[in-house]
Amino acid sequence: MSNAATEYTLAELCIVASAEAFRYDGEVLATGIGVIPRLAASLAMKTFNPDLMMTDSESFLLSEPNPLGERPADFQPATETWMGFSRIFDNVWSGKRHAMLGPTQIDRFGQSNTSALGGTYAQPKVMMLGARGFPGNSISHPNSFFVPGHNDRVFLAGECDYVSSVGYNPARLPKGHALDDIDIRRVITDLCVMDFGGPEHQLRLLSLHPGVTAEQVQENTGFALCIGDSVPTTPAPTVEQLAIIAALDPHNQRASQIAGNPPGKRS
Amino acid sequence: MDKRMSAREAVAQIEDGMTVGIGGWGPRRKPMALVREILRSDLKDLTVVSYGGADVGMLCAAGKVKKLVFAFVSLDFIPLEPYFRQARQSGAIEVMEIDEGMLLLGLRAAAWSLPFMPTEVGLGTDVLTHNPQIKIIDSPYDDKEWVAMPALPLDVSLIHVDRADFRGVCQIAGPDHYMDDWFARAANNTIVSCDELVDTDFFHDPARAREVFWERSATSAIVEAPGGAHPSSCSPRYGFDVAHFKAYAASAKDGGINAYMEQYLGADEAEYQRNVGGLEAITSLALPTY
């Protein structure tokens, strides 16, 4: 790409790669939880999918994404409708939403865990948030995942300690449902981009971030990945994309999202 | 009908073993003055239903909770609620962990006097594995299985609002009323604290009446409690108290809930407010930016 940037951070590469998840969504609510997913959804709306609907992360939908963090006192958000928490479910259960979230565990079925680790259910070793809205999200609308630290504790060898969201697990498939009803889109990490498009919904490597090898991704994943003969490199952000990201994130919150804020091109 | 009473009188209506719904969301517009009154009481063995924040953490830590019905417990900027984690990790409480939307459906079923609401939410997840009392049913209209989310009837609901009149007309002026209308409707006894008590004619402006989300017949008691959501937020009046929440979270590591209560709780709300810097300090807290 002629206007590809030469200098960019890994966070910026992940934002651009994550934005791609929303490219062909059409008119759905894009919900990015966390700085990188939120900037990704915002970038997608500002560039290749202007039909996306955008939340203010509180209680309104916006015609233009809000910049992150403190805004000038005279800032006017581009509100277009009210979307408080009770109304969120009217949207979620209609299926007109694509969420991108960062669970603590993701297993080979694409099931995820936001609730508890280790111990017993009555007395977990590490209690986290709880099931949150993951059960409803996962059975109602498409979802993508962002993982800032790709390792085999996140992508664990076994099944999630607690299954918050449904995946492509035949043993848990509800009666009358097909595995193809479940719609997990992209999995973006600090190493690569993946989807569940391998044989029998196996997690598949789509692209490697610059300087990362397929072996490195497999070593950091607790189960076998579907890896093709030649895996492309994740495209660098364009100069224009970096400018839009900078305007959406004027306080540079993206710099603190991946440990050490490394450059996008790793040697 | 004059529904005004003190926080102490209102909380005295709650009995051991009751199911108590708590409005608000995480660190936002929680009826904390009423929660504090429970902390000062001898109440025990409560079943608490909440989109949880420090309300849940405090009540768990103080030994008031037998069972918690929840989808999450979080302080937002402190994602993991420290005392809730301790309660779970020590096995101190029973739980019914469900999806956020299932909780809403359970409240709606209770409000509408239905035994359950059908939904596909929860299918395929451990919400069902760990809640065998939630039944899966066949549909009379298709060949799929569905979750029969049971009604969550509440003995009491505790809610905090911006303004109310003596008859129980309640205004929520902030950007979101969360699920408070359903908490009000699902309960036998809805106790509402308000930052400001107003005359009835305050609501004779249709724009203000639009910010009233349930009829006054669903309100049982009104407690005047300026700053009563502290340390949670009551937008647009005041934000949540970041410094206080940090001190609260730190107490979970050093001193525990007894040290926290010793330092802040006081004998009543007036003493609590003196311990946290006064009402003016509360109402000056900046609103959060999302």
pLDDT in tens, A147-183: 999 999 999 999 999 999 999 999 999 999 999 999 9
**B7 CB near a chain A CB, below 8 Å?**
no
CB B145 within 8 A of CB A175: yes
Parallel, antiparallel, or unpaired: how do β-strands A79-82 and A60-62 relate? antiparallel
- Residue A119 tokens read as 């111990």
CB atoms within 10 A of CB A192: 26
B274 to chain A nearest CA, in Å?
30
| Tens-digit pLDDT profile for residues A142-153 | 999 999 999 999
pLDDT of the residue at A11: 98
Confidence class for position B10, pLDDT limits 50, 70, 90: very high
Closest residue in A to B144 (Cα–Cα): A176
Alpha-carbon distance of A147 to B155, in angstroms, equals 42
pLDDT of the residue at B246: 98
Q: Is the CB of B72 less than 8 angstroms away from the CB of A132?
A: yes
- Tell me what the mean pLDDT of segment A50-66 comes to: 97
**B20 CB near a chain A CB, below 8 Å?**
no
**Cα torsion B171, B174, B177, B183: sign:** negative
Which chain B residues are within 8 Å of A173, Cβ to Cβ? Answer: 124
- Tell me what the mean pLDDT of segment A56-73 comes to: 96
Contacts with B82 (C-beta within 8 Å, 6 or more apart), sequence order: B57, B248, B249, B252, B253
Looking at residue B228, its amino acid is G
How many degrees, rounded to 5, is the angle at CA A143 between CA A95 and CA B177? Answer: 60
Going by C-alpha positions, the residue among B188, B100, B109 that lies closest to residue B150 is B109
Of the residues A58, A94, A117, A141, the best mutation for testing chain B's interface (the one with the most B CB atoms within 10 Å of its CB) is: A58
Confidence class for position A2, pLDDT limits 50, 70, 90: low
**Cα torsion B138, B140, B144, B150: sign:** negative
Confidence class for position A101, pLDDT limits 50, 70, 90: very high
**A223 CB near a chain B CB, below 8 Å?**
no
Alpha-carbon distance of B64 to B93, in angstroms, equals 10
**A241 CB near a chain B CB, below 8 Å?**
no
pLDDT of the residue at A190: 98
Alpha-carbon distance of A77 to A85, in angstroms, equals 19
**A125 CB near a chain B CB, below 8 Å?**
yes
- Tell me what the mean pLDDT of segment A228-237 comes to: 97
**Domains assigned to chain B:** 7-99+153-276 (3.40.1080.10), 116-150 (no CATH)
Of the residues A129, A162, A180, the best mutation for testing chain B's interface (the one with the most B CB atoms within 10 Å of its CB) is: A129
| Tens-digit pLDDT profile for residues B182-204 | 999 999 999 999 999 999 999 99
pLDDT of the residue at B109: 98
**B149 CB near a chain A CB, below 8 Å?**
no
Q: Beta-strand (E) ranges in chain B?
A: 19-22, 46-50, 65-70, 94-97, 116-119, 135-138, 145-150, 154-164, 170-171, 187-197, 221-224
How many degrees, rounded to 5, is the angle at CA A77 between CA A68 and CA B104? Answer: 85
**A73 CB near a chain B CB, below 8 Å?**
no
Closest residue in B to A136 (Cα–Cα): B121
Confidence class for position B23, pLDDT limits 50, 70, 90: very high
Alpha-carbon distance of A252 to B229, in angstroms, equals 32
Contacts with A199 (C-beta within 8 Å, 6 or more apart), sequence order: A226
Q: How far is CA B56 from CA A13, A253, B9, B110, B186, in A?
A: 39, 30, 22, 22, 19
Alpha-carbon distance of A187 to A21, in angstroms, equals 9
- State the DSSP H helix or E strand holding residue A80, giving kind and residue range, or none if neither: strand A79-82
pLDDT of the residue at A203: 98
Alpha-carbon distance of B46 to B59, in angstroms, equals 9
Q: Is the CB of B125 less than 8 angstroms away from the CB of A163?
A: yes
How many degrees, rounded to 5, is the angle at CA B236 between CA B1 and CA A34? Answer: 125
Helix (H, G, I), strand (E, B) or coil at B29: coil
| Tens-digit pLDDT profile for residues B85-128 | 999 999 999 999 999 999 999 999 999 999 999 999 999 999 99
Q: Is the CB of B71 less than 8 angstroms away from the CB of A130?
A: yes
Contacts with A, B 213-242, CB within 8 Å: none
**B71 CB near a chain A CB, below 8 Å?**
yes
Alpha-carbon distance of A190 to A264, in angstroms, equals 9
- Tell me what the mean pLDDT of segment B206-225 comes to: 98
Alpha-carbon distance of A179 to A177, in angstroms, equals 7
- What fold, for A10-256? Glutaconate Coenzyme A-transferase (3.40.1080)
Confidence class for position B278, pLDDT limits 50, 70, 90: very high
Annotate B156-201 with DSSP letters as a single string.
EEEEEEEEE-TT--EE--SS--TTHHHHHHHEEEEEEEEEEE--GG
Which chain A residues are within 8 Å of B123, Cβ to Cβ? Answer: 135, 139, 166, 174, 177
The yes-or-no verdict on residue A1 having pLDDT over 60 is no
Looking at residue A175, its amino acid is K
The DSSP symbol for B25 reads B
Alpha-carbon distance of A105 to A256, in angstroms, equals 21
Q: How far is C-alpha B274 from the geometric centre of its chain's CA atoms?
A: 24
pLDDT of the residue at B34: 98
Residue indicated by tokens 């206080």: B244
**B132 CB near a chain A CB, below 8 Å?**
no
Closest residue in A to B79 (Cα–Cα): A129
Q: Which of A70, A89, A93 sits opposite B289 (nearest CB)?
A: A70
pLDDT of the residue at A266: 85
Closest residue in B to A124 (Cα–Cα): B89
- Tell me what the mean pLDDT of segment A93-104 comes to: 98
Mean residue pLDDT across chain A: 97
**A139 CB near a chain B CB, below 8 Å?**
yes
Percentage of chain B surpassing pLDDT 70?
100
Residue A174 preceded by cis peptide, ω within 30: no
The yes-or-no verdict on residue A79 having pLDDT over 60 is yes
Going by C-alpha positions, the residue among B221, B227, B240, B223 that lies closest to residue B272 is B227
A127 to chain B nearest CA, in Å?
5
B43 to chain A nearest CA, in Å?
24
Q: Is the CB of A140 less than 8 angstroms away from the CB of B88?
A: no
